[in-house]
Amino acid sequence: MTTRHELPAPAPIVAPHSADFWAATAQERFLVGHCPACDQWFWPPTRSFCPRCAGPASLREPSGTGTVYSYTIVRASGAIALGGGPYQDAVPYVLAYVELTEGPTVLTNIVGVDPEDVTISLAVRVVFARTGGPQDPALPRFQPA
């Protein structure tokens, strides 16, 4: 099986708790929540507080690398019950959790590889899929490192 198409890149809902993250993606910068006191990284990057110590947290740029924690090849468009409209014609595609080198897991897509060749523990790095023009958010996806 080969990827015959570009995956759709629907625009995310940008809310006050995620505006800074998405603004950075427009410049192809991938940021993750970080607590300097705990030296812990958090995902999703929606909090100005640390969910462990309740101290202030901020966005920080990680290495952008990680490994596949789990994945699935979505094969039937009927599986897409919630908000997956743009993906109706995109099957088969890979939905995955990537465990970042810094720790947290990110729900994403694995691209740039035959879906059948994706494995747990595969080393990956972040790439960006534009949802519109150069000022618009870009979706962080991962491809083999």
Partner 1 sequence: MGGRAYIAGAFEHPGRYLPEASLAQLHSEVVLGALLDAGLTLADVDGFLSTPDAPGFGVITLADYLGLDRLTFTDTTETGGSAYVAHVGHAAMAIEVGLCSVVLITMAGKFSSGLPMPSGYLDAPELSFEIPFGTSLVPEYALAARRHMFEFGTTAEQLAEIKVAASMSARHNPNAVLRKVVTVEQVLDSPLIADPLHKLDCCINTDGGGALVVVSEDVARSLDRHCVAIRGHATAIKGSFGGRTDLTYTAAVHSGARAYGMAGVGPEDIDYAGLYDSFTITVLEQLEDLGFCEKGKGGSFVESGALRSPDGSLPTNSDGGGLCNNHPGARGGMPKLIEAVRQLRGEATPEVQVRDCEIALVNGIGGSLGTRMGSGTVVLGREAI
Cα-based distances in Å from 89 to 34, 36, 111, 127 = 37, 43, 16, 22
**Residues lying near partner 1 in the complex (CB under 8 A):** 7-15, 17-18, 22, 33, 40-47, 51-52, 69-76, 78-84, 86-87, 90, 93, 95-97, 99-100, 103-109, 120, 131, 139, 141
How far is residue 21's CA from residue 33's CA, in Å, rounded to a whole number?
9
CB 86, min distance to partner 1, A = 8
CB 134, min distance to partner 1, A = 18
Nearer to partner 1, 84 or 144 (CB): 84
